[in-house]
Structure 1
Amino acid sequence: MARTAVIGAGMGAMAAAARLAVAGHRVTVYERTETYGGALRRVERDGFAFDTGPALLPLPAVYRDLFVKTGKEPLEDRVELVQVDPAARHVFADGTEVALPNASRAGVVTALDEALGAGAGQRWGDFLVRAREAWDRSRRPLLEEPLWPNWSVLAEREPYPAVPHRRLLRTRRAATPAEIGAFELRDPRLAALLEGHALAYGLDPRTAPASAAVLPYMEHAFGVWYVRGGLRELARAVYERCLERRVEFVFGAEVTRIAAADGRVTGVEFADGGSAEAEFVVAGVPPETLDRLVAGAPVRGAGEVPPQRGLPSRLTVLLALRGGRPAGTAHRTVVHCADREAELQALFGPAPRMPERPTVTVTRPDDPALVPDPEHEAVTLTATVPALPGDAADGDALGAHADRLITAAERAVPGLRDRLLWHEVRTPSDVAEATGAPGGAVPAPALAAAGGRLLHPANSTGLAGLFTVGGWSHPGGGLPHAGMSGALVAGLIVEGPEFRGSQ
C-alpha cells in the first residue's frame, strides 16, 4: 500500500483521493482551511443558505462515474439531482427575453424563433451542429486522456469547423466567439448568448479560440443540473465517499514544502514544523503555490505547457428577499449588459477594472432547504470581475460594484430592492481564501487552438511521484473538469505513464 499525500481538499483532489484509496493507497488529505470543497462553499444566515461557487452542474456523468467506480453506488443515492428547465432565461440589452429549454435542440430553435424572429433559431441550431463537431474532435484529448506529450498539435489545430465568410472580396473564417457571432449568428442577441458563455468562464470572447463553442454545446447536449440543497451537497457527498474509503483528512494543515530526494518526492512538510512521508504527492494547488512548495525543483520543462496566469475572478452577491419565489421562475437568468465591448475592455484591457455595466447571472433555486419558510427567497448574483491581490482589494469599489449587480438584476427580478432584507458580498479575496489562488483568480477549462494559451499543464510533472490535480492543471477549471482531473491522476499513479484514459 503506497502512502499518498494529497494537498488540498478541492473537488479534483477529493476525486483523486477516493479513486486512489479504492486502488489500495493509504491516502491522507492535508487542507489548510477548516473545510473541504475548494470553491464549493456555503453561507448560512437567518435561515437562508447560499452557494458561493458554481450554481449548476453540467456533465453529471463525471460524478456518476466517480461514485460507481469507488463504491458501485449511484450518485443519485447520495444527492438529489434535478434537471432545471428552462436551462436559462436571457434578458438582452434591447429588452428582448427568451427562455431556453434544457437539452432540447428543437425546443431551443423554436424559442429563439419566437423571441428573436424567424431564422434566429436555425442559425443557433446550425452553430450547435458545428460546436458538436468541435466537441467530438477535442473531447478525448482535452478531457478524457492525459495531456499529449505532443500537445502542440492541440495548440495549433482549431477543432471548430471553418465556415467561409466573404467580406470585402476576401474570405474569412471565424477564429473567436466574437467572430462566430458576427459572421455566423448575425444577430447581436445571439452573439451575446454565445459570448455570455465565454464570459461566465472568465474568457474574453474577442480573443478566446473558436473552440470555446464547446462550452454552450456541453450544456446543450448534456443538460444542466441542480443538486437539491445546493451544490455544496455534492462536495459533502464526495467528502463522505472519501471517508468511507478510509481517506484521512487533516484540516488546518498548511503544507509549506514538498520534500524530495534524488529526483523523487519523499513527503510533505508543514507550517507547524511537522512532516509526513509519502511515496506520492498529489497537489491540488495554484501554480504559484506549487512553485513555492517545490522550492526550485524541476517540475515543468521548457517545452511543456506553462501555467495560466492573469485570469479574472468572480464577485457574488447573496440576497435575502421577503416574499416567496413566484411560480414558473427560471432557476438561472442571464442579464446581458448594454455595452459588451465596454465591459470586455474593462475586464480584459491593459488595466483591468470593474465594468460600469456588468453582465449578471441571477440564480433563483426552487429549493425549500435554502430559505427559512415559503415566504422568503434566496437569490444569488454573480459577475466576472478582475482578480484583485489582497493589497488592491478596495472594499468601497467592491461594494459599489455589488450595487451595480443589484441594479442589473432588477431587470430580471421586478421590485427586487423593495423585497431586500439584507445582502452579503463575496469578493475575490473570499475566493482566494477558499482556493489559495492569488487575487481569487478562477481557472478556465482547457480549450484547443490559440497556440496552447488555454491549455493547462499536464497532471504528471518532472519530479517523480508528484502529480497535480484540479482546475490549475489538465483539463482545467469547472466542476466536470475537476472530477476528470481526479480520474486522470489516479490512473497515472495506479497504471503508470502508459495510462491513456478511460475507454
Structure 2
Amino acid sequence: MARIAVIGAGMGAMAAAARLAVAGHRVVVYERTETYGGAVRRFERDGFGFDTGPGLLTLPAVYRDLFVKTGKAPLEDRVELVQVDPSSRHVFADGGEVSLPNATRAGVVAALDEALGAGAGERWGDFLVRAREAWDRTRRPLLEEPLWPNWQVLAEKEPYPAVPHKRLLRTRRAATLAEVGAWELRDERLAALLNSHALAHGLDPRTAPASAAVLPYMEHAFGTWYVRGGIRELARAVYERCLERRVEFVFGAEVTRIVEKDGRAAGVEPAGGPVAEADHVVADVHPARLRALTEYPLDGEGEVRADPGAAASARFTVLLALRGAPEPGAAHRTVVHPADPEREWDFLAAPGGAEPPMPTVTVLRPDDPALRPDDGHESAVLSAVVPARAAWDDERTVARYTDLLLQAAGRAIPGLRERLLWHEVRAPGAAEEETGARAGAVPAPALAAGQGRFLHPANSTRLPGLYRVGGWSHPGGGLPHAGMSGALVAGLIVEGPRFRGSQ
C-alpha cells in the first residue's frame, strides 16, 4: 500500500483519488478552500440556486466508468441524469433561430433545413460525418491514453478531413475552425453555430485547428445531459464515493511545498502544518502554482508545448433570480449570437483598452425545482467567454459587460427586465479565488494539430513520483476530460509507466 498525497479537490483529483483508494492505496487530499469540486460550485440566495461552473455534461460515460470501477452503486443511483432536449437553441443576429434536437442527426438536419433553408441541414450533416472521422482518429490518444512520448505526431498532423476549397488558381483545405465554417458550411448562421463550440471553451475560431470539429461532434454523438439539482450534485456524488473508499480530505490546507528526497517527490508541506510524507504526489493545480511548489524542472527540453498557464480566456457569469415561471417550451440552453463575431474574437485576442463588444452569450434555464424557491420563480445563468487579462477590477468594465449579457439574454428570455428580481455578477476574479487559476483562466480540451499549441502537459513529470491531473494537464479542460485525467493518473501509478490507457 502506497501513501499518496493529492493537492486540490477538483473533479480530476477526486476521480484519481477514488480509483487509487480502490487499488489499495492510502490517499489524503489537501484542499486550500473549504470545499470540494474545483470550478464545480453552487451559489444560493433567497431560495434560488445556481451552478457557477459547468452547467451541462457531455460524455457521461466517463463518470459512469468511474463509479463502476470504484464501487457497486452505479452513477445513476447517486444522481439523476436528464438528457436535455432540445440540446440547444440558437438565436442569430438576423432574428432567426433554430432549436437542435439532442443526439439525432436526422432531427438536426430537418431542423436546420426548416429554419435556415434547404441544404443547410445537409451541409451540417456532412460536416458531422467528417467530424466523426476526426473523433475516431484522435479519441484514444487525446482522451484514453497518456500523452504519447512522440506527441509531435499529434501536433503536426491534422485529423479533420477537410474538403478541398478552390480559390482563384489555388486549392486549399481548411486549417482552422473558422475556415471550416466559411468554406464548408457556407452560411454565416451555420458558421456561428460551429464557432460557438470553440468560444464556449475559450478558443478563437481563427486559430483553433480544424480538429476542434470534435467539440460539436461530442455533443451530437453522446448527447447533452443535465444533473438534477445542478452539476454540483455530480461533484457531491464523486466526493461521497471518495469518502466511501476511505479517501481522507483536509480542507483549508494550502500546500506550500512539494517535498523531494533522493530525486523524487516524497510528500507535501501544508501551510502551518508538518510535512506529510508520501510515495506519490498528485497535483490538480494551475501550472504557475505547481512550478512554485518545487524547484525541480518538471519538463525536459522539447517536452513543453504552449504554456497553459498563459491561457487568455475566462468566464464572465451573471446569475438571475426571476419572478414568474418560464414560458412553455423554454429551452434549457440558448446561445445568443452577436452581429459582429470578429469584434468579439479581436477583443479576446487583444483586449487592451478596447470597448467590450457584444459577446456570444449562453443562457441556461434549468427547469429544476431544486434551484428555485417555488414554481412561481425561475433561476437562470448567463455566461460569456472573456479575456482573463482585461480590467475586471474596474467597476465600469464589469457594469458594461453585465449590461451586454443582459441585453443578449433579453433576446432569449421574454420579459426579462420586468421579471428580474436581482442579479449576481461573477467576474473572473471569483473563479481565481475558488480554483487558484491565474485571473480565473479556464483550460480548453486538448486538440490535435496546431503545432502542439492545443496539447497539455503530460500527466507524468520529470520529477519521479509527481503527477499532474485535472484541466491543466492532459487531456485538458472540461468535465469529461477531467474525469479521464483521473483515470490516466491512477493507471500510471498503479500499473507504472507502461500503462497505455483503458482498453
For the aligned pair, the TM-score class normalised by the smaller chain equals: over 0.9
Structure-2 separation of matches of 1:223 and 1:431: 27
* SS of the residue 1:455 aligns to: coil
Q: Which residue of 1 aligns with 2:320?
A: 319
One-letter amino acid of the structure 1 residue matched with residue 30 of structure 2? Y
Match of 1:46 in 2: 46
8 Å contact from structure 1 (residues 399, 425) kept in 2? no
Distance 2:311 2:49 in 1: 31
Corresponding residue for residue 402 of structure 1: 402
RMSD: 1.1
Tell me how far 1:403 sits from its aligned partner: 1.4
Residue equivalent to 1:372: 373
Q: Displacement, 1:38?
A: 0.3
Shift of 1:353: 5.7
1:129-278 correspondence runs (5 A)? 129-278=129-278
The structure-2 alpha-carbon separation of the partners of 1:472 and 1:353, relative to structure 1 and needing over 3 Å to count, comes to farther
Match of 2:335, SS? Answer: strand
User: What is the alpha-carbon distance in structure 1 between the residues aligned to residue 280 and residue 79 of structure 2?
Assistant: 31
Report which stretch shifted further, 245-254 or 342-351: 342-351
Output the CA distance in 1 between the equivalents of 2:355 and 2:432.
18
Q: Distance in 2 between matches of 1:498 and 1:476?
A: 22
Give per-residue Cα distances to partners, 1:182-217, cap 9 Å, x unaligned. 110000000000000000000000011000000000
Once residues 414 and 3 of structure 2 are traced to their aligned partners in structure 1, the CA distance between those partners, rounded to angstroms, is 56
Asked whether the 8 Å contact 1:89–1:333 carries over to 2, the reply is yes
Alignment partners' CA distance in 1, 2:412 and 2:61: 31
Aligned-partner SS, 1:21: helix
Distance 1:500 1:468, change over 3 A: same
1:410-449 aligned within 5 A: 410-449=410-449
Instruction: Supply the distance in 2 between the matched residues of 1:83 and 1:450 (Cα, whole angstroms).
Output: 33
Shift of the alpha carbon at 1:163? 1.1
Report the Cα distance in structure 1 between the residues aligned to 2:189 and 2:393, rounded to whole angstroms. 33
Task: Tell me whether 399-408 or 438-447 shows the greater mean CA deviation.
Answer: 399-408
| 8 Å CA contact retained: 2:311, 2:442 | no
Task: Identify if the C-alpha distance between structure 1 residues 412 and 458 changes in structure 2 by more than 3 Å, giving closer, same or farther.
Answer: same
Q: Gaps (5+ residues) in structure 1?
A: none
- What SS class does the counterpart of residue 292 from structure 2 fall into? helix
Which consecutive residues of structure 2, in runs of 5 or more, have no partner in the other structure?
none
Contact 1:353–1:385 (Cα < 8 Å) also in 2? no
Q: Tell me the equivalent position of 1:289.
A: 289
Alpha-carbon separation, structure 2, partners of 1:124 and 1:297: 49
Amino acid in structure 1 at the alignment position of 2:331: A
Paired residue type of 2:302: G
CA offset digits 1:202-236 (Å, max 9, x no partner): 00000110000000000000000000000000000
Code of the aligned partner of 1:115: A
Task: For 2:480 and 2:350, locate their aligned partners in 1 and report how far apart those are by CA, in whole Å.
Answer: 29
CA displacement at 1:376 relative to structure 2: 0.2
Aligned residues: 501
Give the corresponding residue for 1:304: 303
Alignment of 1:18-33 (within 5 A): 18-33=18-33
What residue in structure 2 maps to residue 74 of structure 1? 74
The one-letter code of the counterpart of 2:339 is: A
Indicate conservation of the 8 Å contact 2:491/2:499, yes or no: yes
Q: After alignment, is 196-205 or 320-329 more displaced? A: 320-329
User: For residue 346 of structure 1, what is the aligned residue in structure 2?
Assistant: 347
Instruction: Give the aligned partner of residue 387 of structure 1.
Output: 388
- One-letter amino acid of the counterpart of residue 93, structure 2: A
Q: Which amino acid aligns with 1:395?
A: E
Point out the more displaced range, 331-340 or 399-408. 399-408
Tell me the amino acid that sits aligned with residue 396 of structure 1.
Answer: R
State the AA in 2 paired with 1:314.
Answer: R
Residues in 1 aligned to 2:498 and 2:395: alpha-carbon distance in whole angstroms:
50
| Alpha-carbon distance between aligned partners in 1 of 2:462 and 2:312, rounded to the nearest angstrom | 25
